[in-house]
Amino acid sequence: MLFWLGAAAFALTILISVSLHELGHMITGKRFGMKVTQYFVGFGPTIFSFRRGETEYGLKAIPLGGFCKIVGMTPQDDDVAPEDQPRAMWRFPVWKRTIVMSAGSITHFALAIGGIYVMALVFGLPNPAYPTTDPELRALPAKIRVSECVSLTLAEGDCKPGVSGVPGPAQSARLQQGDVITKVGTTPVANYGQLVDAIRAQQAGPVDFGYERGGQAGTTTVTLVQAERPADDGSVVKTAMAGVGADLSDTPVYVKYGPVAAFSATGDQTVAMFKATGEAIKKVPQKLPALWHSITGGERDPNTPISVVGASRLGGEAVEHGAWDLFWQIFIGLNVFIGVFNLLPLLPLDGGHIAIAWYERVRSWLYQRLRKPDPGRVDYYKLMPLTYAVILIGGAFTLLTVTADIINPITIFK
């Protein structure tokens, strides 16, 4: 029950976000004097509506978005009454049209930034000092955590001593979490990267380890085992292992901030999320084969794109397990993604309209400098084949992600 309530709650937050997106268009359009004739939440048959001034407001039956009708978005719109011509959107200065068309994405960004600030106060934000890349991890001190079990093959899965693995060599040698390794065999060790390299350079069998514990130096003999591990190229190699990892107990994954410090942390996290979103959008095409593979029976790659259905499922999982911080993170990430994606310079996205407006402005400026007649407005009808292609590709992509999220969804809690 909690899962379905959480999924419904997340779907509702998406609907509210999209409705606020359209509200951003409406408010800025009205402020500049453009005529807004309709603002509806949902699509399809109208459930109810009312009119205030020149705008009709209402709710439609299919809760999959919303729309805001601004008169004369393009010069080719043929439903503009003669008395409304002076207020047609395309007649307004390009900077005003840019603000109106980008207001939807700005609304998503505002929701995301506000959400990040709340997370900084309530749940905490990712610790910038926490290592997330291999170079960062290798640069850490050689302070270790010890494993009670080591799997000898990658196929063994969960490691249980004597069942699916062997007792951890470092633990058996009475090394403890927090020990700092100073030497492996005859090789001095200064950081975690050197520790890993030194262990892998050994043969399986007894090897002397030098360490420090509480300021006191010590030595012990660790009987290394040979085990499989994944190589950087995706292959499987066998190497000596001691059953140790980097001790990150003193480096929290998340850090909470006070009301003032949260502003700076929110700014840093916002920049990081925009960069990550840009990278994710660039990688979408190369993820499509894996997405198709998941539909045809393969394992679902957790890094493949998801739809609103998939996001709602993840939100439901988060609520079911009491992980409200995760629910909040998904909401923030989705708003950043929608905001950035909507600004791509492709029709019928808002970014496409903005790109055309500035193209017209720059072209007119160049023609003026060249003392040539103004070429006028872009003919949107000539762009219709490209627009239909974008709609077709977008529709196919949506169908693909929705199907994958129904047949083989991504799950967080297993």
Eight-class DSSP state of 336: H
In CATH terms, is domain 134-246 a member of 3.40.640.10? no
Crossing angle (nearest 10°) for helices 2-31 and 308-320? 130
Percent of the chain with pLDDT over 70: 98
Asked if the model's pLDDT at residue 162 lies above 70, the reply is: no
Residues 60, 61, 67: CA angle, nearest 5 degrees:
35
Nearest to 327 by CA among 413, 245, 243, 247: 413
- Quote the CA–CA distance of 81 and 71 in Å, as a whole number: 9
* Average per-residue pLDDT for the chain: 91
22 is catalytic: yes
Asked if the model's pLDDT at residue 114 lies above 90, the reply is: yes
**DSSP element (H, E) containing 199:** helix 192-200
Tracing tokens 């095409």 back to the chain, one arrives at 285
Q: What is the per-residue pLDDT for 50? A: 93
Confidence of residue 132 (pLDDT cuts 50, 70, 90): confident
- Quote the CA–CA distance of 5 and 94 in Å, as a whole number: 44
Higher pLDDT, 413 or 151: 151
Residue extent(s) of CATH 2.30.42.10 domains in the chain: 134-246
pLDDT digits (tens, 9 = 90+) for 384-407: 999 999 999 999 999 999 999 998
pLDDT digits (tens, 9 = 90+) for 327-338: 999 999 999 999
Confidence of residue 193 (pLDDT cuts 50, 70, 90): very high
Q: What is the per-residue pLDDT for 106? A: 97
| Exposure string for 268-288, b = 16+ CB within 10 A, e = fewer | ebbeebeeebeebeeeeeeee
Q: What is the per-residue pLDDT for 414? A: 67
Q: What is the per-residue pLDDT for 65? A: 85
**Which of 176-180, 204-208, 230-234, 257-261 has the weakest average pLDDT?**
230-234
For 37, the 3-state DSSP assignment is strand
Asked if the model's pLDDT at residue 157 lies above 70, the reply is: no
Asked if the model's pLDDT at residue 128 lies above 90, the reply is: no
- Quote the CA–CA distance of 89 and 75 in Å, as a whole number: 9
**Which member of 22, 83, 228, 317 is catalytic?**
22
> What's the mean pLDDT in 125-151?
90
Q: What is the per-residue pLDDT for 189? A: 95
Asked if the model's pLDDT at residue 351 lies above 90, the reply is: yes
pLDDT digits (tens, 9 = 90+) for 224-275: 999 888 877 767 888 999 999 999 988 898 999 999 999 999 999 999 999 9
Asked if the model's pLDDT at residue 88 lies above 70, the reply is: yes
Percent of the chain with pLDDT over 90: 64
